Amino acid sequence: MKQPHHTIHRHHHHCVWDNAIAPVLRVAPGQAITFDIQDASGGQISRNSTADVFATYDDENINPVTGPVFVDGAEVGDALVVTLESYAPSGWGWTANIPGFGLLADDFPDAALHHWNYRPDDCEPLMFGDLAEIPLAPFAGTVGVAPSAPGPHAIIPPRQVGGNMDVRDLVAGSKLYLPVEVAGAVFSIGDTHAAQGDGEVCGTAIESPMQVTLTLDVVKDAGLRMPRIESPGRIRPFGATQITTGIGPDLHQAARDAVRGMIDLLTRRHALAAVDAYMLASVAGDLRISQIVDAPNWTVSFHMPDSIFR
């Protein structure tokens, strides 16, 4: 019997992480869900907006996530597997320099806003005036489950249960593994982007409303400490990739956590000694800063191509 397909509309959203927020949907593992997602401004920026919008910009209502969803059978210590099936971009988005936000906020104190109008069918790149062409690579910047600590918690910084990670490899076909800290996982998703560079250095990507279809599954007793990704490699030159993450306020420690996560994965998957996995990671893996603007926590990701394994 075919599983039912659910849709959650954008008015079912929240702007904090809190395990006390009542789920808007309860699903069995394997059911498909389509999420209707607002842009990161929560609708404050429209196609007609100018940079003046930031004079009255409400920081309390930014980065809304659609949900949450309760997943039957998900328990503390499990991993929630998020299979990102497809994205349906809207054809419009924006990038901004928001005063006081971004890696070089001190260098660029004035607001700026750039609009993008693009074909959502991936047939043509996004145009930055007449200067540059940007390939359409839609993904969700904020994907997470509720933390065990009583809320509310700010939506902007990512944490060990995911959230605003801004890892641009979360394209269609990717699988994201999230540590479950509360019964039912209590899953939400938002902050969709038409494209982004690693680091998201000015603080915004191509922020674009869209719909995301995904399925949610459960791996029992996964022992996962940080989010992990299996990516089809559509935006990387080396194809399908395993990705581990480190998230926290210390960039060096986050890098160490991302590498340790890869060592753990390689030792389990390929029966390697830990020191051999460490050396293999050093010669074949890539350490990347995925997000360095969502204070106080940064996202570091470690990428290992599947193609090296026989």
Identify the CATH number of the domain in which residue 265 sits. 2.60.120.580
- For residue 193, give both structure tokens: 């982007």
Rounded-to-integer distance, Cα 200 and Cα 202, Å? 6
104: which DSSP letter?
T
| DSSP notation for 136-164 | ---EEEEEEE--SS-S-EESSS-BTTEES
Residue type present at position 52: D
Q: Identify which of 164, 170, 173, 160 has the alpha carbon closest to the alpha carbon of residue 247.
A: 160
Rounded to two decimals, what is the model's pTM? 0.92
Range of the domain at 145: 5-308
Rounded-to-integer distance, Cα 279 and Cα 44, Å? 48
Sign of the C-alpha dihedral computed for residues 241, 143, 120 and 86 taken in this order: positive
Query: What string of pLDDT tens digits covers the 310 residues of the chain?
Result: 456 689 999 999 999 999 999 999 999 999 999 999 999 999 999 999 999 999 999 999 999 999 999 999 999 999 999 999 999 999 999 999 999 999 999 999 999 999 999 999 877 888 888 888 888 999 999 999 999 999 899 999 999 999 999 999 999 999 999 999 999 999 999 999 999 989 999 999 999 999 999 999 999 999 999 999 999 877 776 788 999 999 999 999 999 999 999 999 999 999 989 988 998 888 888 999 999 999 999 999 999 888 888 7
Total structural domains within the chain: 1
Q: φ, ψ for residue 248 (rounded to 5)? A: 170, 180
52: which DSSP letter?
G
